[in-house]
């Protein structure tokens, strides 16, 4: 498997969904400062969000209190659409990592939009892609998983390189211990990524891609 699998973005930036993005973002816009929650786990699925600016993290708290950082999402992403299915309850928190702006779309409006534009299949494909992304975050050596996660993070942000993110959060995301993540950061080296107490800076995406490719041929 090559590094290309880590570069796919399940968002309305894809050609099959981009046409309706302007219609969705005509709804009321809301600003969320860094650290604020856009959506909360357990809440009813009354609306979805069309993220137009900023970066968010998707975090689920399990019954035993353990937290899992499932994904990062950036501009062009729809948030909260899964809560419109089944029981209609949000399965995770969505928290702003930077100042974010999003259009608030009532559930009935979004469902009508999907019907009128015949997007049910595209939405299903997006859900499958997101599930595959979460599965791949746990696949391979820790160094490979970390490099792939950082590639996805840069991609989701639209090209940003510096993020408010701790080693503990990275460990949650790649399903590894903090020590293992620290060791993997050392292995990648400051030429590829630099990590502070609560900041991660990606120096070379190309180097991270090469790292992933190298693990795949070993």
Alpha-helical (H) ranges within 175-204 are: 178-188
For the chain, the domain total comes to 2
Same domain, 31 and 120: yes
Assigned domain for 6 exists: no
Cβ proximity of 10 and 129 under 8 Å: yes
pLDDT of residue 4: 36
Between CA 98 and CA 83 the distance in angstroms is 24
Q: What digits encode the pLDDT tens for the residues 59-76?
A: 999 999 999 999 999 998
Alpha-helical (H) ranges within 45-141 are: 107-116, 120-136
pLDDT of residue 5: 35
Cβ proximity of 154 and 161 under 8 Å: yes
Same domain, 81 and 162: no
What residues make up the domain containing 51?
Answer: 11-134
- CATH number of the domain encompassing residue 99: 2.60.120.10
Same domain, 128 and 37: yes
Query: 134, 161, 184 — which closes off a domain?
Result: 134
Q: What digits encode the pLDDT tens for the residues 102-140?
A: 999 999 999 999 888 888 887 888 888 887 877 777 778
Question: Whats the size of the chain, residue-wise?
Answer: 218
Same domain, 104 and 187: no
Token pair, residue 109, equals 């409006």
- CATH number of the domain encompassing residue 167: 1.10.10.10
Query: 80, 113, 134 — which closes off a domain?
Result: 134
Same domain, 94 and 182: no
Same domain, 101 and 126: yes
Same domain, 106 and 80: yes
pLDDT of residue 93: 97
Cβ proximity of 216 and 2 under 8 Å: yes
Same domain, 48 and 151: no
Same domain, 86 and 162: no
pLDDT of residue 171: 94
Residues of the chain whose pLDDT is less than 70?
1-19, 86-87, 215-218
Same domain, 208 and 146: yes
Query: 109, 134, 159 — which closes off a domain?
Result: 134
Cβ proximity of 99 and 91 under 8 Å: no
The whole-angstrom distance between residue 217's C-alpha and the CA centroid of its chain comes to 27
pLDDT of residue 17: 56
pLDDT of residue 138: 77
Cβ proximity of 36 and 141 under 8 Å: no
**To which residue do tokens 């997006």 refer?**
126
């Amino acid at each position: 498997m090559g590094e290309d699998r880590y570069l796919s973005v399940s968002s309305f930036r894809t050609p099959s969904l981009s046409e309706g993005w302007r219609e969705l973002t005509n709804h009321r816009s809301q600003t969320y400062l860094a650290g604020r929650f856009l959506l909360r786990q357990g809440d009813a699925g009354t609306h979805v969000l069309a993220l137009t600016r900023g970066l968010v993290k998707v975090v689920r708290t399990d019954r035993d209190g353990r937290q899992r950082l499932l994904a990062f999402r950036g501009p062009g992403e729809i948030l909260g659409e899964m809560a419109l299915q089944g029981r209609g309850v949000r399965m995770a928190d969505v928290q702003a990592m930077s100042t974010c702006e999003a259009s608030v779309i009532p559930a009935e409006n979004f469902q009508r939009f999907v019907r009128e534009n015949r997007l049910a299949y595209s939405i299903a494909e997006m859900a499958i892609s997101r599930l595959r992304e979460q599965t791949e975050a746990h696949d391979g050596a820790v160094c490979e998983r970390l490099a792939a996660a950082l590639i996805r993070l840069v991609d989701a942000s639209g090209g940003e390189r510096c993020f408010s993110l701790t080693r503990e959060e990275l460990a949650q995301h790649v399903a590894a211990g903090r020590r293992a993540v620290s060791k993997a950061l050392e292995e990648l080296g400051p030429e590829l990524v630099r990590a502070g107490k609560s900041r991660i800076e990606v120096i070379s995406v190309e180097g991270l891609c090469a790292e992933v490719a190298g693990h795949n041929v070993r």
